[in-house]
Amino acid sequence: MKKRSLFVAGLLVLAMVSGAGCGSGKREDSQGQSSENAGADTEESTDTQENSSDEKEPVNILIAAAASLEYSLEDELIPMFEEEHPEITVEGTYDSSGKLQTQIEEGLEADLFFSAATAQMDALTEEGFIQEDTVTDLLENKIVLIAAKGEEGNFTSFEDIAKAEMPALGDPASVPAGQYAQEALTNLGLWDEVSAKASFGTNVTEVLNWVAEGSAQAGIVYATDAATQKDNVTQVAEAPEGSLAEPVLYPVAVTKNSQHQEEAQAFLDFLQSGEAAQVFESYGFTVNE
């Protein structure tokens, strides 16, 4: 009996040891699996953070541009750029370059300025509103005489604007097209005669619309504006050679106070690209080399 009791006791001890070993193995498996899961979770979290950091925050930029640029920018160039840069939204405000200059001086938070003349860009640069190293004389335009449909027979040369009962011109005080018209007509000896009976528009689009609607027989606008209203106006003639001292240049630049310098520069770079040049040329501009 004593031997049997010892034998049974030995079996019980052996069973306990074996059970403890099995239990320990299960805990190790569980801990190992938990550790693997934790590692996977950490790796997945890191990947998510990396993907998140790759996504750029959406940015809105504002371009203050001459009225004569509205169609080319709004209808084609801005959509093209936004398709290539979905994180950047470009908004435009359009008016005479002189008015836009004043608005920028008074606090308009524009990221870029696209002027229809160098005078306004030069003034803003001297006043410290423009990043001088970004200024680019991008485009060239022409000053032309236009006549309303049905009036073409009364006008055959640029100088014939003097025949109009009420010619339409941009206001030289703020509209570059008006300043160019004044310069050309002064050099042709016609400014006093024409200005005495002229209606002065606040921007070149207004002048164009007056002639297109027939409220003015003739007017002076940019060639690019005339091209947008071919059904309603006829381009009669360009300003004669020598009547303007300098070509009609359109400079563009990033403003110094822009809060989105990188995005504004990206749009400026795009405007200087070959694909943008093709669009500008299709609207009648000449890309300045």
> Is the distance from CB of 145 to CB of 154 less than 8 angstroms?
no
Structural tokens at position 246? 């300098």
Q: Is 52 known to sit in a ligand binding site? A: no
Structural tokens at position 59? 């940015």
Structural tokens at position 187? 């050099």
Q: Is 116 known to sit in a ligand binding site? A: no
| Residue 241 phi, psi dihedral angles, 5° rounding | -60, 130
Query: What is the DSSP code string of 99-166?
Result: HHHHHHHTT---SEEE-SSHHHHHHHHHTT-B-GGG-EEEEEE-EEEEEETT-GGG--SGGGGGG-SS
The C-alpha atoms of residue 129 and residue 212 are separated, in whole angstroms, by 36
Q: Is 97 known to sit in a ligand binding site? A: yes
Q: Is 68 known to sit in a ligand binding site? A: yes
Q: Is 243 known to sit in a ligand binding site? A: no
Closest CA to 63 of 102, 99, 89, 98: 89
Query: Binding site: residue ranges?
Result: 68, 97, 177, 204, 222
Query: Binding site for molybdate: residue ranges?
Result: 68, 97, 177, 204, 222
